[in-house]
């Protein structure tokens, strides 16, 4: 690459989209957005838009898949055909199958599965728009939807991407940063109270120092995601309480 073609991924402390190295894209989460589902959530994280529906715990069928000791988590991550620049085939590809597997396993660490033998907890994720970091956005939204469904959990799962672009360790990479020639992309999910890591994937290579720096950034990022998740649930349950009081009042009259 010629020197003049070199992109400064961080210049004067600012990234290409104006963020600081440790700054997340704006996050908005709403719990309880789908009537039919037992639990649901809608999340916007920068350009990423994710809708999650949770069903269950319900009888696992066919019967031979049932586990008499615990519930199964069936996580379905799907990208809408229109969510990416080139039309995505509606058929689930290798990437979606992999993301579904590791995300389901991450949620299993949080849910008290042993309380629901022979059942399945189905989590349906639809990515409606994307700009890198969709698996962490989806996982963060999914744990809000699980809480909305009233499924008992040790903690929420909060997830974030960290990585490197242009030699700089940065939080929450966007697509332009993920496409940097030296990019490292590391999605991480944790149970924020205990800091137990329940998902960690890595594309690219870090030095030991970069790794330590990114783990610190990830922890900071997850704490912010956790706050947004709890705020969404607080809002949902305060509204539900208000509705409940209103209908009780109407019943008394
Ligand atoms: O979205 P995430 O970072 O979790 O996964 P990725 O495999 O690293 O993909 C990064 C981004 O590439 C996605 O968020 C999409 O915007 C884009 N992508 C795409 O354009 N076409 C695909 N078939 C898959 C992903």
Report the atom number in ligand 1 closest to the C-alpha of 134. Answer: 1
Rg (CA), the chain: 20
Backbone phi and psi for residue 29, each to the nearest 5 degrees, phi listed first: -130, 140
> Does position 2 have pLDDT exceeding 70, yes or no?
no
Beta bridge partners of 200: 188
Interatomic CA distance for residues 134 and 43, integer angstroms: 10
- Tell me the CA distances in angstroms from 243 to 14, 218, 230, 238, one per residue in order: 45, 38, 20, 9
Asked whether the whole model's pTM tops 0.85, one would answer yes
Of 61, 97, 59, 55, the residue nearest 76 (C-alpha): 97
- Token pair for 224: 């912010």
Atom of ligand 1 nearest to the CA of 137: 4
pLDDT value at 19 more than 90: yes
Pocket of ligand 1 (CB under 6 A): 84-85, 88, 95, 130-135, 175, 178, 185, 187
Q: Which CATH number is 20-252 given?
A: 3.30.230.70
Is 230 buried (19+), middle (13-18) or exposed (0-12) by CB count in 10 A? middle
Q: What is the DSSP letter of 89?
A: P
**Per-residue pLDDT, 251:** 82
* Nearest-angstrom CA–CA distance, 217 and 98: 25
CA pair distance 160, 202, nearest whole angstrom: 12
- In this prediction, residue 55 carries a pLDDT of 98
**Residue 132 C-alpha to ligand 1 middle, in angstroms?**
5
**How many residues are given for the chain?**
253
Q: Average pLDDT of the chain?
A: 96
Using pLDDT thresholds of 50, 70 and 90, give the confidence band for residue 244.
confident
In the numeric block, which tokens belong to residue 197?
A: 């890591």
pLDDT at 248: 87
Q: How far apart are CA 28 and CA 199, in angstroms?
A: 22
Residues forming beta bridges with residue 44, ordered by sequence position: 28, 49
For residue 211, what are its two tokens? 């790794």
Closest approach atom of ligand 1 to CA 187: 4
Cα–ligand 1 centroid distance for 110 (angstroms): 26
Atom of ligand 1 minimally distant from the CA of 133: 3
Residue 30 has a pLDDT of 98
In this predicted model, what pLDDT tens digit does every residue of 135-171 receive, in sequence order? 999 999 999 999 999 999 999 999 999 999 999 999 9
Domain ranges in the chain are: 20-252
* Ligand 1 site-directed mutation target among 43, 101, 132, most atoms within 8 Å of CB: 132
Would you give the distance in Å from CA 165 to the centre of its chain? 22
SS3 state at 18: coil
User: Which pLDDT score is estimated for 4?
Assistant: 60
Sign of CA dihedral 48, 160, 210, 207: negative
């Amino acid at each position: 690459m010629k020197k003049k073609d070199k992109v400064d991924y961080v210049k004067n402390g600012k990234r290409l989209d104006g963020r600081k190295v440790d700054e997340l894209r704006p996050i908005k989460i709403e719990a309880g957005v789908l009537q039919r589902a037992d639990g649901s959530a809608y999340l916007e994280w920068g350009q990423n838009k994710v809708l999650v529906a949770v069903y269950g715990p319900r009888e696992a069928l066919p019967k031979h898949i049932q586990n008499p000791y615990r519930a199964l988590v069936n996580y379905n991550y799907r990208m809408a055909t229109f969510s990416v620049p080139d039309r995505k085939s509606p058929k689930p590809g290798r990437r979606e199958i992999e993301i579904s597997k590791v995300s389901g396993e991450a949620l299993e660490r949080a849910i008290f599965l042993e309380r629901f033998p022979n059942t399945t907890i189905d989590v349906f994720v639809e990515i409606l728009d994307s700009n890198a970091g969709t698996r962490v956005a989806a996982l963060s939204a999914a744990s809000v939807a699980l809480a909305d469904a009233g499924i008992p959990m040790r903690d929420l799962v909060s997830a974030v991407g960290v990585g490197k672009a242009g030699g700089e360790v940065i939080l929450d990479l966007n697509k332009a940063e993920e496409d940097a020639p030296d990019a490292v992309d590391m999605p991480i999910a944790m149970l924020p109270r205990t800091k137990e890591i329940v998902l960690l994937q890595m594309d690219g290579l870090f030095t030991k120092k970069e790794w330590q720096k990114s783990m610190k950034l990830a922890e900071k990022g997850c704490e912010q995601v956790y706050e947004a998740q709890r705020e969404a649930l607080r809002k949902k349950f305060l509204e539900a309480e208000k509705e409940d009081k209103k209908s009780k009042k109407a019943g008394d009259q």
